[in-house]
């Protein structure tokens, strides 16, 4: 029985010793964390790291940007906010990628470190297919029909599409018009009517208006192109063409001056 008591006392003493050691370590850790000594060590380590990078010439000296056309170089530099002579491995490629991708015209970004001291940023921009007018505001539409949030750029060589729901129908319209070049080359604008169909405005015959049907637009354009070829439609004194009445083509004449 006495031996058992001794053993228990020994175990209790060891527990107390370990408890004191752990307590000392925690206390020392807290002191170190709060102390100026820790701050000085961290600062010295940082300075040593930067110094080592400089000796090895692994610091940022040049940023090359490729592929930008409508995106201004200053906008890319502004969002990346890179500092000359910073260690090149401190450049956060993921963060830079996200910031550049958020610029209005950017479609995709590739960022590469070229050791020892260069960063190469290659961007691919969106391709505008039309200008969208809505509520007196103008924005380009990209190849998927999505608005590009840039109200400053005006692209007069593109078709102007008008209406609140125009973007979601523009790609389909332009793809259809590609098959009818005699019409496509003259179309200046397309206006959504009642969120159901398009009216095209052509530059021929003082701004000829072509009223397209809600459905079977391709068949309607086929009839119009045939009339242009065979009946010399664009040479006549007309102001509008109605393609909404089945297989009929109804024209409205106007007073040419």
The pLDDT tens digits for 72-110 are 999 999 999 998 888 888 899 999 999 999 999 999 999
| More reliable by pLDDT, 136 or 32 | 136
Tokens of 200: 């095209």
Asked if 143 and 237 sit in the same domain, the reply is yes
Asked if 80 and 195 sit in the same domain, the reply is no
| More reliable by pLDDT, 129 or 11 | 129
- Domain end residue (candidates: 125, 145, 161): 125
How many Å apart are CA 231 and CA 163, to the nearest integer?
Answer: 32
- CATH classification at residue 192: 3.40.50.11690
| pLDDT confidence bin for 20, thresholds 50/70/90 | low
Domain assignment of residue 243, given as a range: 130-253
Number of domains in the chain: 3
Residue 25 has pLDDT above 80, yes or no: no
Residue 45 has pLDDT above 60, yes or no: no
Asked if 49 and 146 sit in the same domain, the reply is no
- Of 87, 112, 111, which Cα lies nearest the Cα of 99? 111
Residue 18 has pLDDT above 90, yes or no: no
Asked if 217 and 141 sit in the same domain, the reply is yes
Asked if 71 and 107 sit in the same domain, the reply is yes
pLDDT of res. 5: 47
Asked if 89 and 165 sit in the same domain, the reply is no
Asked if 172 and 214 sit in the same domain, the reply is yes
Asked if 156 and 248 sit in the same domain, the reply is yes
Query: pLDDT of 208-249, one tens digit each?
Result: 999 999 999 999 999 999 999 998 887 888 889 999 988 888
Mean pLDDT of 100-121: 95
Tokens of 157: 């060589």
Residue 8 has pLDDT above 50, yes or no: no
pLDDT of res. 104: 97
Instruction: Please report the DSSP string for the chain in residue order.
Output: -HHHHHHHHHHHHHHHHHHHHHHHHHHHHHHHHHSHHHHHHHHHHHHHHHHHHHHTT-B--EEEEES-SSS-HHHHHHHH---TTSBGGG--HHHHHHHHHTSTTEEEEEEEEETTTEEEEEEEEPPP-EEEEETTEEEEE-TTSPBPS-SS---TTSEEEESTT-HHHHHHHHHHHTT-HHHHTTEEEEEEETTTEEEEEESSTTT-EEE--SS-HHHHHHHHHHHHHHH-GGGS-EEEEE--STT--EEEE----
Half-sphere CA count of 112, side-chain side, radius 13 A: 9
pLDDT of res. 206: 59
Asked if 201 and 231 sit in the same domain, the reply is yes
Asked if 205 and 97 sit in the same domain, the reply is no
- CATH classification at residue 100: 3.10.20.310
Asked if 74 and 178 sit in the same domain, the reply is no
- Domain end residue (candidates: 70, 94, 125): 125
- Domain end residue (candidates: 40, 55, 70): 55
Asked if 240 and 152 sit in the same domain, the reply is yes
pLDDT of res. 59: 86
């Amino acid at each position: 029985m006495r031996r058992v008591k001794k053993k228990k006392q020994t175990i209790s003493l060891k527990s107390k010793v370990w408890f004191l050691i752990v307590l000392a370590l925690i206390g020392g850790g807290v002191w170190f964390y709060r102390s100026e000594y820790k701050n000085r060590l961290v600062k010295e380590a940082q300075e040593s790291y930067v110094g080592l990078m400089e000796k090895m010439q692994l610091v940022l000296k040049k940023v090359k940007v490729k592929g930008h056309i409508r995106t201004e170089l200053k906008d890319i530099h502004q969002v990346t906010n890179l500092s000359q002579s910073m260690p090149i491995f401190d450049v956060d490629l993921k963060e830079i990628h996200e910031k550049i991708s958020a610029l209005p015209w950017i479609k995709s970004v590739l960022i590469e470190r070229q050791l020892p001291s260069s960063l190469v940023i290659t961007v691919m921009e969106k391709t505008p297919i039309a200008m969208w007018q809505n509520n007196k505001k103008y924005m380009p539409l990209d190849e998927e029909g999505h608005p590009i949030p840039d109200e400053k750029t005006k692209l007069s060589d593109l078709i102007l599409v008008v209406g609140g729901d125009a973007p979601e129908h523009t790609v389909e319209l332009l793809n259809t018009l590609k098959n009818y070049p005699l019409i496509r080359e003259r179309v200046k604008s397309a206006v959504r009517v009642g969120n159901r169909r398009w009216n095209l405005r052509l530059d021929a015959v003082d701004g000829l208006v072509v009223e397209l049907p809600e459905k079977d637009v391709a068949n309607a354009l086929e009839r119009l192109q045939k009339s242009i070829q065979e009946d010399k439609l664009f040479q006549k004194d007309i102001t509008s063409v109605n393609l909404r009445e089945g297989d009929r083509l109804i024209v409205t004449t106007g007073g040419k001056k």
